[in-house]
Amino acid sequence: MKNFHMSLLAGIALLAGLAAAHADPVKISVSAEPIPPFFSLDGQGNWQGFLPDYAKAVCKEAKLDCVVVATAWDGIMPALLAKKIDVIWAGMSITPERQKQIAFTIPIYNTPVEFIGNKEDKFEFVPGGLKGKAVGVQTSTIHAQYVQKAYPEAEIRNYATLDAAMADLAAGRIDLVLGDADSVDPFLEGKDGACCDGKNFPKDPLFEGGIGGGLRKEDTELKAKLDAGIKAVYASGEFKQIAGKYFKYDIGMPPK
């Protein structure tokens, strides 16, 4: 009888521990540097935009209790690996280099990549064509990797945020900025971007993997739930509805 009671108590303790372990919400992290219309802060300090809306829809389908948090972009992968967050949901491209360190959900969307520059300037987007040109990119992005690979002769300027790069472009301190079209187009349409226009949409395998949610490799159960949620949101048409609120063209990648 004593052994039975001890086993019973141990079982109760184990169940309590499991319940406590699952009580904490899944921390879905955007980048602390706002990139509208993907994510930005509203007047109450809450994250809004395409990615927070999409995360909520996926978590609902996956029956996950999620909370949207923010982490500085240059520290977002270390934060994931240190278990300070559970999912990177900040527009991170799926690349072989990143897959050596972390896992990804199935692709959640993809967007064209665009060079923008001053309306009066002409550029040659061929090998050696950007010699002497200052090109702004957000640090630790596939945009930075691409410029380094395709135009090593250019003067590459790394910025903590895309907004900072575009501000320098408007001020005439750099010649070009490379970023996602859905991030740079709102700048071109606004007052600050009246100086500039689109120059080129580069094509490269770096841009073909899509954007995914980054996870720790050991979190296989969470990945399976998120993948199922992504597929359900896409199949129901909710993805198209959410994306249509923020973008002029289709950014969907049909789940495989």
- Residue-level pLDDT at 241: 97
pLDDT digits (tens, 9 = 90+) for 223-241: 999 999 999 999 999 999 9
Beta-bridge partners for 103:
215
pLDDT at residue 94 greater than cutoff 70? yes
Q: Is the pLDDT of residue 218 over 90?
A: yes
110-115 average pLDDT score: 93
| pLDDT at 125 exceeding the cut of 80 | yes
Q: Are 239 and 181 in contact, with CB atoms under 8 Å apart?
A: no
Q: Which residues of 58-79 are buried (b: 16+ CB within 10 A; e: fewer)?
A: bbebbebebebbbbebeebbeb
Phi first, then psi, for residue 198 (nearest 5°) are -75, 140
Residue 145 CA to chain centroid, in angstroms? 16
CA distances from 27 to 80, 83, 185 (A): 10, 10, 30
Confidence of residue 167 (pLDDT cuts 50, 70, 90): very high
For residue 243, the tally of other CB atoms under 10 A from its CB is: 19
Q: How many CA atoms lie within 13 A of 91 on its CB side?
A: 31
Fold for 21-110+209-244, please state it. Answer: D-Maltodextrin-Binding Protein; domain 2 (3.40.190)
For residue 119, the tally of other CB atoms under 10 A from its CB is 11
Q: What is the arithmetic mean of pLDDT over 4-26?
A: 52
Q: What mean pLDDT is predicted for residues 103-130?
A: 96
pLDDT at 4 over 60: no
| Cα angle value 18/19/24 (rounded, 5°) | 105
The pLDDT value given to residue 10: 45
Cβ-based neighbour number of residue 246 at 10 Å? 17
Please state, rounded to an integer, the average pLDDT across all residues of the chain. Answer: 91
Specify the range with the lowest mean pLDDT, choosing from 3-12, 109-118, 208-217: 3-12
Model pTM above 0.85:
no
Q: What are the boundaries of each domain within the chain? A: 21-110+209-244, 113-207
Local confidence band at 256 (pLDDT 50, 70, 90 cut-offs): confident
- Whether 178 contacts 113, CB under 8 Å: yes
Question: Residue 97: pLDDT above 50?
Answer: yes
18-32, 41-55, 98-112, 124-138, range with the lowest pLDDT: 18-32
CATH dotted code for 113-207 = 3.40.190.10
Quick: pLDDT tens for 28-87.
999 999 988 899 999 999 999 999 999 999 999 999 999 999 999 999 999 999 999 999
Alpha carbon separation from 113 to 39, 108, 141, 146 (Å, rounded): 18, 16, 12, 11
Distance separating alpha carbons of residues 163 and 7, to the nearest angstrom: 59
Contact (Cβ atoms closer than 8 angstroms) between residue 173 and residue 214: no
Given a contact cutoff of 8 angstroms between Cβ atoms, the answer to whether 39 and 182 are in contact is no
Identify the pLDDT of residue 51: 97
Are 148 and 178 in contact by the 8 Å Cβ rule? The answer is no
* In the chain, % of residues over pLDDT 70: 91
- Cα-flanking dihedrals φ and ψ of residue 109, to 5°? -175, 175
Which residue shows structure tokens 């495989």?
Answer: 256
pLDDT at 16 over 80: no
User: The tokens 């945020």 sit on which residue?
Assistant: 161
Banded model confidence at residue 23, pLDDT cuts 50, 70, 90: low
With cut-offs at 50, 70 and 90, classify the pLDDT of residue 2.
very low
